[in-house]
Structure 1
């Protein structure tokens, strides 16, 4: 329930903020991809080294401050339900990025942010909880193939729990209408343990 309320709150915040932004519109500032949107993702993460799978739910989005500056905020929850391990690992991230137009259809986006993470996990005979604040850096290339089809590849690093995790990701999105899109994403994270992820998402763009 707390996860659902948190995701709903983030989506409402984005719908209000993006709508009220001066100049915010579909493909605001004639960008090659969409930057004003709320997003919901559902997927699966596999922790390769210890053979554990987690269901991942993410909610949040992005918005343009002006033609170069972009902000983002997301909640990500990973639900583990194995015979020997159950629980929820969560993270809230807030970031600001700068957009560099590279070509007519290509942007480079570079930024950073802060993260707050917490988890509550149960094993056969123990309960483990912890929380931490961390910093992140990230970059991505975003390409608009057409007005309805866009893709991105990204590289990010975040330091939490005295460890730095590096993630390589990619996604594609298709927009059948002006304000609605869907797509798929993949990611590979290297840390103390390696994880691989795949998921599907829907996007709600704001005029």
Structure 2
């Protein structure tokens, strides 16, 4: 099945307009059919050995979200202390999550024992199951953007906080906690770029031909 130009353009528009959302969440609920489409897209991600190691925990309970928010606040303070004084002050001013503002969270996990200890494609690189789970997250993120729903990835929280709050077994890996919801608007630029934390690297600086030393920006 070929992709026509209109469909191609829609894919690129979705990719380039995707944002990590923090401050723009609205409280509007996400209809079940929309959530179902997003999760179905995530579940159709590629996975090494077709092991499909992911699970999705949908979080709507306010008390559960408050536990995760408290865990974020502790980890956020811990993280701020790791930066230099100037950078720490900038860090503290950034809005880095929307745990309580978003109507739901989705925790994406990886079961590294799924389908047994020997998996096609993981025999040499055992971490491929984690990478496969990240592919599911990217599918989820792009599908959400196509539905005009924002996603915010919260990485500044310790796994044990989320495991306790969501009753996740010890042998299951947490890959992402995502804030999910409709938004007031999508920003033109990523927040961290807009606030001067870092600039986007030129594409040319990331491309090499045939060897690491043959860099495209040397041409």
* TM-score (structure 2 length as normaliser): 0.24
Q: Which has the larger radius of gyration?
A: 2
Larger % of helix: which? 2
In proportion to residue count, which structure has more strand?
1
Q: Which has the higher contact order (CA 8 A, sep 6+)?
A: 2
